[in-house]
Amino acid sequence: MLTVHSIKELQNAKKNHQGTIGFVPTMGALHEGHLSLIRQAREENEIVIVSIFVNPTQFLEGEDLESYPRREKADYKICELAGVDILFMPTIDDIYERDELKIMAPARGGYVLEGTKRPEHFDGMLQVVMKLLNLSSANKAYFGKKDAQQLALITQMVRNYFIPCEIIACEIIRGERGLALSSRNAYLSQEEKERALLISASLKLATQTVLSGEINCNTIKNKMQELLQEKTDIEYIALVNRDFHSIQTVELGNTMILVAVWVGETRLIDNIWI
């Protein structure tokens, strides 16, 4: 595996390989969720590129940019063992100019749910993903369904800007007891991890409720709220269709149930597609 930092080094490294490129962009602190993306990229492509870049433009004032977990050595080892060909770890100056052209997320999809809670987060996320897709020349890029809105917006950006890259949606990876894996789980104490289990439990409850024949979204939301409010601070529970429009009744095959809660000082999101 070759580790490269500058854009020039990346371009040179790519010249030494031939074949289709699978790309996994990350912000590091890699876990089993990232590993599943890397494994899929490995299976489906001749060359695998992983980037690690904690992107400042997608963090809002007061968010965890400074404290975001950074584990370069462990990340390097994980990528090496997973058979990554090129690990790209650029600096902020490599990626950004001072006064540059911006990308704006669309109103629908970009400024609902996560977008209302974190205005401009998606603008910064799209800006860096656009750059990374161009730099990697990826044929396929891999993203987890946990960040459902991120995934939808990246898919739209690729469509709208005719970027020749296929966006691959990958399943959410969960710990043994159901907690969706996230780099931010590192912030949780043991007691908070127990409380965070309510998130996946609430999504399971929602699924069971639908399977029992109850498809009214308000009823499902109320049940989830009852469970979640015991030990978390709910930011939102939303039932939407795959275009992020709110819905009154669940339509199987076209519904997502999304949750954002605070457990102590940590904000966690999760969802289920039914």
Query: Between 25 and 195, whose beta carbon lies closer to ligand PAF?
Result: 25
Binding of residue 64 to ligand PAF (CB under 6 A):
no
Q: What is the DSSP letter of 60?
A: P
The least distance separating ligand PAF from the CB of residue 264, rounded to whole angstroms, comes to: 22
What is the amino acid identity at position 104? M
For residues 6-45, which are near ligand PAF according to CB under 6 A?
A: 25-27
Which sequence positions are flagged as catalytic?
34
Greatest pairwise CA separation for the chain in angstroms? 57
Stretch that binds ligand PAF, among 77-85, 123-131, 160-168, 220-228 (CB under 6 A): 123-131
The least distance separating ligand PAF from the CB of residue 206, rounded to whole angstroms, comes to: 24
How distant, in Å, are the alpha carbons of 67, 77, 133, 240, 249 from that of 59?
A: 11, 27, 20, 25, 34
The least distance separating ligand PAF from the CB of residue 183, rounded to whole angstroms, comes to: 8
Query: Between 205 and 273, whose beta carbon lies closer to ligand PAF?
Result: 273
Stretch that binds ligand PAF, among 125-133, 173-181, 209-217, 236-244 (CB under 6 A): 125-133
- Tracing tokens 């109320």 back to the chain, one arrives at 222
Binding mask 239-268 for ligand PAF (x = CB under 6 A): ------------------------------
Residue 267 has phi, psi (to 5 degrees) of: -95, 125
Using an 8 Å Cβ cutoff, are 254 and 215 in contact?
A: no
What is the amino acid identity at position 274? I
Binding of residue 147 to ligand PAF (CB under 6 A):
yes
The least distance separating ligand PAF from the CB of residue 25, rounded to whole angstroms, comes to: 4
Binding of residue 128 to ligand PAF (CB under 6 A):
yes
Closest-CA residue to 257 (of 195, 194, 215, 196): 215
Binding of residue 129 to ligand PAF (CB under 6 A):
yes
Q: How many CA atoms lie within 13 A of 224 on its CB side?
A: 34
Query: Between 32 and 191, whose beta carbon lies closer to ligand PAF?
Result: 32
3-state secondary structure of 268: strand
Q: Give just the sign of the alpha carbon dihedral 103, 106, 107, 109.
A: negative
Separation between Cα atoms, residue 205 and residue 208, nearest integer Å = 5
The least distance separating ligand PAF from the CB of residue 215, rounded to whole angstroms, comes to: 31
Interface with ligand PAF by CB under 6 A: which residues? Answer: 25-27, 55, 58, 125, 128-129, 147, 150
